[in-house]
């Protein structure tokens, strides 16, 4: 028996030896910074082209300011807010990448909690950037909409994305003699033409849910072009999800989900959708401007265009692109490296550097002098004057609202279980009303 007795013992000894061996190697002695040297701690979310640009930028920045070392950490986007919170608490960060301020609590909203950026500012954790010279490089509207709270500026926003457009396959449109649709009726006809020819009309990453309802933003936007007013109307009761206007939207959403989307779209993952479109099998692909590079990567020779989703029969209502402010910079209020942090933002905001950033990342720029020179940039350029912030950036659901209280095309079959626009409209309004009643 004694042989067996010591087998486990041997393992434990072996493990602890490994441990000490590794301990000696892996416990590093971090470089002791010299007296006047500064380590600037930067936190960004993972977006490969942006991170690649930042690494390049940091290198140049350190060359220009040899006393500053940039220590940039990358985290996944859905962990960004948690890590921002913990690192600010630990006073372990100087410059943080934060998505554009959205979903601010409005006076007409009852019993809502302020969004996380507002909570951070109220707790005194973000630095007031008002009056910093580099702010002048940006669109006043971007500073105001995505970085200002109570009259003070806390964030410079670095770019916008739009999600209410449709990618279309130029070759298939030409081959089938279909004109690029500018109204809802034309879109319906186009889809019928393609389907008759045996070509699926639209694809999207239906498995993830949101690409379907985000794709239908044009339907929402053409009926309610002022999305801030829509949110206020829903809260105050002047707009209802089951009134006559909304009913038109639901009917069209059903057509979109049931007839326009290809069979099987509800099982495609969000990641896979641009590839599916680039394969050339499908005529259209409603989706965000960020998919452009992915389509090109999958099929470089593929010819595509991008138009706002024509949700209305009045072509004039279809000229808007809806979207959101993406990432931006904030500075920790308690940073011991304030000068270095401001220097970092100044350097980043330099028009040449900013242009390089936009080229790398593909955002719609927030500096008036910058140009979006990519393929998607050329496509969205004609509509940029009509860029509008989308509903989900304003909307805060009243506490107690049900899970159907949103204008989502995914409620319809085959993505959901609903089949009748009127019944669904009543259910959606009912779920919203339950919340509004609860917070009265």
Partner 1 sequence: MSAITSPKTSTNRRINWGRVLSYAVLILLAVIYLGPLLMLFNTSLKTMPSFMKDATSFATELNFKNFVDAWTKANFPKYILNSLLYTVSATAIYILTAIFVAFPIARGYIKHSGVVLTMFVIALFLPPALIPQFQLILHLGLYNNPIGYIMLFLVNPIGIVILVNYIKTLPKELDEAAALDGCGYFRFVWSVVIPLSKPAIATVVVLHAIGIWNEIIAPTIYLTNKDYYPITRGLIVFQGVYGSNWPTLAAAVLMLTFPMLILFIFLQRYIISGLTQGSVKG
Partner 2 sequence: MNYHFGRGWTRWSPYLLLLPGILFYFVIALGPSLATTVYSFTDATGIKGATVNWVGLANYKEFLLMGQASKDNLSALGRTLVFCFFVTTIQFGLGLLVAMIVNQNLKGRNFFRTLYFMPIILGAVIQGLVWSLFLYPLGGPMAKFLALFGARSEFLGGPPFVAFAWVIAIQIWANMGTTMIIFLAGLQTIPSELYEAARIDGANPWQVFSNVTWPLLTPSVNTNLTLNIIGSLQAWQLFLILIGYRNGTQVLGYLIYATGFGQTSGSVTSSFRQGYAASASIILFLLVLVLGMTTNYILQRREARIME
Interacting residues with partner 1 (CB under 8 A): 1, 4-9, 12, 15-16, 18-19, 22-23, 25-28, 30, 41, 45-48, 51, 71, 73-77, 79, 82-83, 86-87, 89-90, 92-93, 270-272, 274-275, 278-279, 288, 290-291, 294, 297-299
We find the least distance from the C-beta atom of residue 278 to partner 2, in angstroms, to be: 14
Q: Applying CB under 8 A, which part among 247-255, 284-292, 348-356, 427-435 lies near partner 2? A: 427-435
Among 2, 10, 20, 417, binds partner 2 (CB under 8 A): 417
We find the least distance from the C-beta atom of residue 74 to partner 1, in angstroms, to be: 6
We find the least distance from the C-beta atom of residue 185 to partner 1, in angstroms, to be: 32
Q: Does 264 bind partner 2 (CB under 8 A)?
A: yes
Instruction: Output b/e per residue, 410-439; b: 16+ Cβ within 10 A.
Output: bbbeebbebeebeebbbbbbebbbebbeee
395 is in the binding site of which of partner 2, partner 1, none (Cβ under 5 to 8 A by kind)? partner 2
The alpha carbon of residue 151 and the mean position of all alpha carbons in its chain are separated, in whole angstroms, by 25
For residues 355 and 57, the answer to whether their CB atoms sit within 8 Å is no
Q: Is the peptide bond before 21 cis (omega within 30 degrees of 0)?
A: no
The alpha carbon of residue 47 and the mean position of all alpha carbons in its chain are separated, in whole angstroms, by 11
Q: Does 210 bind partner 2 (CB under 8 A)?
A: yes
* Residue with the two structure tokens 């917070």: 439
Q: Does 81 bind partner 2 (CB under 8 A)?
A: yes
Q: CA-to-CA distance for 424 and 19, rounded, in angstroms?
A: 61
Residues that bind partner 2 (rule: CB under 8 A) add up to a total of: 64
Between 233 and 375, CB nearer to partner 1 = 375
We find the least distance from the C-beta atom of residue 59 to partner 2, in angstroms, to be: 31
Q: CA-to-CA distance for 160 and 174, rounded, in angstroms?
A: 31
Between 101 and 173, CB nearer to partner 2 = 101
Between 22 and 197, CB nearer to partner 1 = 22
Q: CA-to-CA distance for 374 and 365, rounded, in angstroms?
A: 12
Q: Does 401 bind partner 2 (CB under 8 A)?
A: yes
We find the least distance from the C-beta atom of residue 180 to partner 1, in angstroms, to be: 25
We find the least distance from the C-beta atom of residue 168 to partner 2, in angstroms, to be: 20
73 is in the binding site of which of partner 2, partner 1, none (Cβ under 5 to 8 A by kind)? partner 1
Contact residues: partner 2, CB under 8 A:
78, 81, 85, 88-89, 99, 101-103, 113-120, 122-125, 206-210, 263-269, 272, 276, 324, 392-393, 395-406, 408, 410-411, 413-417, 430-431, 434-435, 437-438
């Amino acid at each position: 028996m004694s042989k067996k007795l010591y087998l486990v013992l041997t393992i434990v000894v072996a493990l602890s030896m490994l441990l000490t061996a590794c301990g000696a190697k892996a416990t590093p002695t971090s470089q002791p910074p010299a007296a006047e040297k500064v380590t600037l701690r930067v936190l960004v979310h993972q977006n490969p082209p942006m991170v690649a640009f930042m690494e390049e930028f940091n290198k140049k920045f350190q060359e220009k300011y040899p006393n500053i070392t940039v220590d940039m950490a990358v985290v996944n986007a859905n962990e960004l807010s948690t890590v921002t919170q913990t690192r600010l608490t630990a006073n372990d960060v100087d410059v943080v990448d934060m998505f554009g301020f959205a979903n601010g609590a409005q006076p007409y909203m009852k019993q809502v909690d302020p969004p996380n950026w507002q909570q951070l500012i109220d707790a005194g954790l973000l630095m007031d950037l008002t009056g910093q010279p580099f702010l002048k490089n940006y669109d006043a509207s971007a500073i105001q909409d995505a970085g200002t709270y109570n009259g003070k500026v806390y964030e410079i926003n670095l770019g916008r994305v739009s999600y209410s457009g449709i990618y279309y396959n130029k070759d298939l449109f030409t081959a089938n003699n279909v004109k690029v649709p500018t109204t809802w009726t034309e879109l319906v006809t186009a889809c019928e033409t393609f389907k008759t020819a045996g070509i699926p009309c639209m694809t999207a990453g239906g498995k993830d849910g949101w690409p379907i309802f985000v794709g239908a933003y044009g339907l929402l936007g053409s009926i309610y072009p002022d999305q801030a007013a829509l949110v206020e109307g829903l809260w105050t009761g002047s707009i209802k999800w089951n009134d006559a206007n909304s009913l038109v939207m639901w009917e069209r959403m059903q057509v979109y989900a049931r007839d326009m989307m290809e069979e099987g779209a509800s099982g495609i993952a969000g990641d896979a959708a641009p590839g599916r479109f680039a394969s050339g099998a499908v005529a259209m692909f409603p989706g965000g401007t960020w998919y452009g590079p992915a389509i090109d990567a999958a099929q470089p020779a593929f010819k595509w265009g991008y138009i706002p989703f024509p949700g209305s029969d009045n072509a004039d209502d279809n000229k808007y692109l809806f979207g959101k402010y993406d990432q931006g910079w904030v500075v920790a209020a308690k940073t011991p490296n304030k000068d270095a942090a401001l220097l970092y933002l100044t350097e980043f905001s330099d028009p040449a550097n900013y242009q390089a950033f936009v080229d790398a990342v593909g955002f719609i720029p927030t500096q008036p002098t910058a140009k979006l020179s990519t393929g998607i940039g050329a496509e969205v350029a004609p509509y940029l004057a009509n860029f509008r912030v989308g509903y989900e950036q304003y909307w805060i659901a009243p506490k107690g609202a049900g899970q159907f209280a949103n204008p989502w095309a995914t409620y319809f079959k085959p993505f959901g279980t609903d089949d009748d626009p009127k019944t669904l409209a009543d259910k959606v309004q009912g779920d919203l009303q339950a919340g509004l009643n609860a917070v009265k």
